[in-house]
């Protein structure tokens, strides 16, 4: 995870290789596709497909945290399940440490199961209620036929201690724990085999706001201690901002923008990202009270069964022109470390964009319907006094102070 700017949350430099210094990505995804077939009738003929993930490319570097955001149904979880190979891809390629794992079978995947683990959203549903914590956390050892040094029980107790649980609670059942504690059990299980990559799908969104910051901070600490690499999927833009080094924004099965955290939050270039971020309260106290507009997208997200032609966002974009309806914009690197898929990206005047027309090319008229696709509302805080910090980082993320702060972040959830 990223170094935070908050003094109370100061985190030491990562012991492992830093995200930017590593030449070889841990994970490389190229043209990844997952279409779920829709079958109808007695003969179960395929009549269509849900294009949940429809051609995405990205890399995850050792030691970094890649955050993934996007509206519900845009394919985040499907992407997470594809890269952990819980789902079989329809197309594209997944490479882990340079090895093609796209279509590995059960036996081929066995060694990889140790290196890639997943943390799920639901700390209630993801733990078997009939098994003790000890047997849940030790399951990966049994599945992989691994005998840890000092024995399974000792190792499980060490893992429980590592995630802040009482090692003596080895024999308790999941229902005897709170939501946050159960998520810690899920984290302990995911870490049992010392994975290199952990994919966390909404790891805190099912938790009470008062414990979200605790779990986020625990994951942060474990990353420093164990040199983990994370892909973290989340709805909450404040959580994503706090945890991520780089962020991928998804829309209808595509990555529309991928950039370093600061670059993305400070100068988003895709209109969709701009609209999402306009909902996040301004974190800089010096800018509190500064004029701020919130861009409200009208209309529903189109169906992933028949996504719009050209740019999939054109039905909701206030900048859409004729070319947006017909030509799909490729994901291009327009600034160092900043990739965008848009024909008319938001430009920052002092940084020339590479190879694309500037913000709204001359002679290209915005479609009449585009003007109706958004509503801009004034979101300037009435008084700085009523605006509190909105993320664990900005809040100082002391576990005590977390509740109010994360509650204030609700407008930033999508
Ligand atoms: N097993 C499946 N069979 C058919 N369609 C599926 C399946 N799993 C997911 N989908 C569909 O794929 C699309 C993407 O779903 P996914 O769960 O990946 O979205 P998401 O971004 O994680 O959403 P959320 O934020 O609500 O969790 C949705 O339209 C969903 O209905
Ligand atoms: S300007 Fe065009 S290409 Fe860019 S997001 Fe809007 S509709 Fe898509
Ligand atoms: Mg999901």
Residue 286's pLDDT is what?
58
Residue 356's pLDDT is what?
47
Residue 285's pLDDT is what?
57
Q: Are residues 129 and 233 in the same domain?
A: yes
320 within ligand 2 shell (Cβ under 6 A): yes
Q: Are residues 202 and 284 in the same domain?
A: no
Q: Among the bound ligands, name the one nearest to the CA of residue 68.
A: 1
With beta carbons less than 8 A apart as the criterion, state whether 311 and 270 touch.
no
Q: Are residues 164 and 86 in the same domain?
A: yes
In a domain? residue 334: yes
Residue 413's pLDDT is what?
63
In a domain? residue 259: no
The atom of ligand 2 lying closest to the CA of 321 is: 2
52 within ligand 1 shell (Cβ under 6 A): yes
271 within ligand 2 shell (Cβ under 6 A): yes
> Which residue of 44, 73, 253 sits with most ligand 1 atoms within 8 Å of its CB, as the best mutation to test the pocket?
73
Q: Are residues 40 and 168 in the same domain?
A: yes
In tens, the pLDDT along 141-152 reads: 998 888 998 999
Q: How far apart are CA 81 and CA 75, in angstroms?
A: 10
Residue minimizing CA distance to atom 16 of ligand 1: 75
48 within ligand 1 shell (Cβ under 6 A): no
Q: Which domain holds residue 199?
A: 7-251
Q: How many angstroms is it from 312 CA to the middle of ligand 2?
A: 8
Q: Are residues 213 and 76 in the same domain?
A: yes
The pTM is what? 0.84
Q: Are residues 98 and 155 in the same domain?
A: yes
The mean predicted confidence, pLDDT, of the chain is 82
Residue 371's pLDDT is what?
75
179 within ligand 1 shell (Cβ under 6 A): no
Q: Is 107 left (phi over 0), alpha (psi -120 to 50) or beta?
A: alpha
The atom of ligand 2 lying closest to the CA of 256 is: 5
In a domain? residue 414: no
* Statement: residue 196 has pLDDT above 90: yes
The atom of ligand 1 lying closest to the CA of 75 is: 18
* Domain containing residue 108: CATH number: 3.40.50.300
The β-bridge relationship of strands 197-201 and 229-233 is: parallel
In a domain? residue 407: no
* Statement: residue 378 has pLDDT above 90: no
Q: Are residues 180 and 311 in the same domain?
A: no
Helices (H), 173-250: 179-191, 209-226, 237-243
Q: How many angstroms is it from 356 CA to the middle of ligand 2?
A: 13
The atom of ligand 1 lying closest to the CA of 34 is: 12
Residue minimizing CA distance to atom 1 of ligand 1: 36
- For 238-245, what is the mean pLDDT? 92
With beta carbons less than 8 A apart as the criterion, state whether 205 and 410 touch.
no
In a domain? residue 406: no
Residue minimizing CA distance to atom 5 of ligand 2: 342
Q: Are residues 282 and 221 in the same domain?
A: no
311 within ligand 2 shell (Cβ under 6 A): yes
316 within ligand 1 shell (Cβ under 6 A): no
- For 368-387, what is the mean pLDDT? 68
- For 213-223, what is the mean pLDDT? 91
121 within ligand 1 shell (Cβ under 6 A): no
Q: Are residues 193 and 114 in the same domain?
A: yes
Q: Are residues 329 and 235 in the same domain?
A: no
In a domain? residue 286: yes
Which two tokens mark 78?
A: 């499907």
In a domain? residue 46: yes
Number of domains in the chain: 2
In a domain? residue 412: no
343 within ligand 2 shell (Cβ under 6 A): yes
Q: Are residues 195 and 293 in the same domain?
A: no
Q: Which residues, other chains included, contact 19 with Cβ-Cβ below 8 Å and sequence gap of 6+?
A: 61, 62, 63, 64, 245, 246
User: How far, CA to CA in Å, does 239 sit from each of 208, 226, 270, 363, 397?
Assistant: 14, 21, 20, 41, 11
Q: Are residues 192 and 240 in the same domain?
A: yes
């Amino acid at each position: 995870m990223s170094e935070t700017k908050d003094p109370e949350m100061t985190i030491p430099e990562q012991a492992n290789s830093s995200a930017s210094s590593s030449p070889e990505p841990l994970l490389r995804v190229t043209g990844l596709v997952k279409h779920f077939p829709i079958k109808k009738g007695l003969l179960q003929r395929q009549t269509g497909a849900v294009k949940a993930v429809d051609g995405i490319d990205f890399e995850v570097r050792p030691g970094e945290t890649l955050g993934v955001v996007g509206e519900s149904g845009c394919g985040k979880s499907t992407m997470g399940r594809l890269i952990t190979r819980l789902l079989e891809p329809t197309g594209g390629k997944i490479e882990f440490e340079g090895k093609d794992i796209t279509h590995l079978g059960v036996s081929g995947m066995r060694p990889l199961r140790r290196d890639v683990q997943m943390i799920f959203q639901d700390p209630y549903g993801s733990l078997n209620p009939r098994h003790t914590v000890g047997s849940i956390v030790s399951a990966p050892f049994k599945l992989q036929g691994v005998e840890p040094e000092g024995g399974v029980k000792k190792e499980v107790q060490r893992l429980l201690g590592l995630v802040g649980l009482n090692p003596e609670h080895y024999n308790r059942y999941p229902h005897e724990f709170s939501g946050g504690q159960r998520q810690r059990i899920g984290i302990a299980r995911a870490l049992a085999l010392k994975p290199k990559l952990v994919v966390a799908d909404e790891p805190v969104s099912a938790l009470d706001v008062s414990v979200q910051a605790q779990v986020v901070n625990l994951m942060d600490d474990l990353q420093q201690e164990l040199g983990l690499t994370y892909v973290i999927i989340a709805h909450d833009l404040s959580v994503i901002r706090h945890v991520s080094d780089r962020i991928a924004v998804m829309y209808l099965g595509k990555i529309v923008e991928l950039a370093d955290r600061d670059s993305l939050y400070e100068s988003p270039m895709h209109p969709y990202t701009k609209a999402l971020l306009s909902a996040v309260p301004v974190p800089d106290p010096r800018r509190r009270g500064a004029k701020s507009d919130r861009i409200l997208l009208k209309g529903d997200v189109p169906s992933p069964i028949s996504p719009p032609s050209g740019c999939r966002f054109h039905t909701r974009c206030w900048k859409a022109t004729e070319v947006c309806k017909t030509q799909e914009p490729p994901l291009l690197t327009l600034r160092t470390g900043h990739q965008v898929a848009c024909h008319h990206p938001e430009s920052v005047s002092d940084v020339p964009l590479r190879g694309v027309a500037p913000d709204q090319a001359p002679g290209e008229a915005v479609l009449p319907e585009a003007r109706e696709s958004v509503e801009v509302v004034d979101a300037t805080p009435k008084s700085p006094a009523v605006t509190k910090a909105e993320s664990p980082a900005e809040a100082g993320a002391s576990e005590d102070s977390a509740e109010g702060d994360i509650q204030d972040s609700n407008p930033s959830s999508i």
